[in-house]
Amino acid sequence: MFQTNDDTPLLNALKFGKIEAFSQCYIKYRTRLVVYAISILGNESDAQDIVQDFFTDLYEKQLYNNINTSLKYFLYASVKNRCLNKIRNDENRQRILKIISPSEDKLLSSEGEIDLRWLQAEISSKIRNVAPLSSKVFELAYFRGMNRNEIAEQMRISPNTVKNQLLRALKIVKFHFGKKI
């Protein structure tokens, strides 16, 4: 129906709420966006998750109503930003894991080991003060090393809920420990 190189009619149909337009947009751009996300992340599974989450948000939150540029530019820019956010979040997660997990250097000195135990206890006590769901998600992610999809499957919640709960818990940790994390 909307098979032209110019996406203006497709964008207009999206803004009028036509489900066929969303389907056509998904069919036209999904694979391209996954390949683009893979080029940024280097991981097909993460790329597929990001693109799927993006299309879900595009539809549910009607993000297409905010498009002031071309549809294609908006789609690629949105996926790129989500990929960069994932990279940033993964880097933050790795920093937290390094602080929480004992390293050989820290185990060699008793002073380092005490600091590590104290830090783990402090993080655990601060996380207990957030909602039980956020606390459980944080524990599974950072103390047990599970990824978002594994947590979602185990807890029978959506990966997006896992992401939101982790963000809530991380805000508490960052608030109490400052920018060191």
- Counting beta carbons within 10 angstroms of the beta carbon of residue 143, is it exposed (0 to 12), middle (13 to 18) or buried (19 or more)? middle
Structural domains of the chain in order of their starting residue, each with its CATH number: 8-86 (1.10.1740.10), 101-180 (1.10.10.10)
How far apart CA 136 and CA 175 sit, in angstroms, is 19
How far apart CA 10 and CA 24 sit, in angstroms, is 8
129: region left, alpha or beta (phi > 0 left; psi from -120 to 50 alpha): alpha
Which pair of structure tokens corresponds to residue 14?
């999206």
Which regions of the chain does DSSP assign to beta strands (E)?
none
Contact between 55 and 26 (Cβ < 8 Å): yes
pTM for the full model?
0.53
How far apart CA 108 and CA 34 sit, in angstroms, is 45
Give pLDDT tens digits along the chain (181 positions): 444 457 888 888 888 888 888 889 899 999 999 999 999 988 888 899 999 998 888 888 887 777 888 889 989 999 999 999 888 888 877 776 666 555 444 444 455 444 556 666 777 777 777 788 888 888 888 778 888 888 999 999 998 998 888 888 888 777 766 654 4
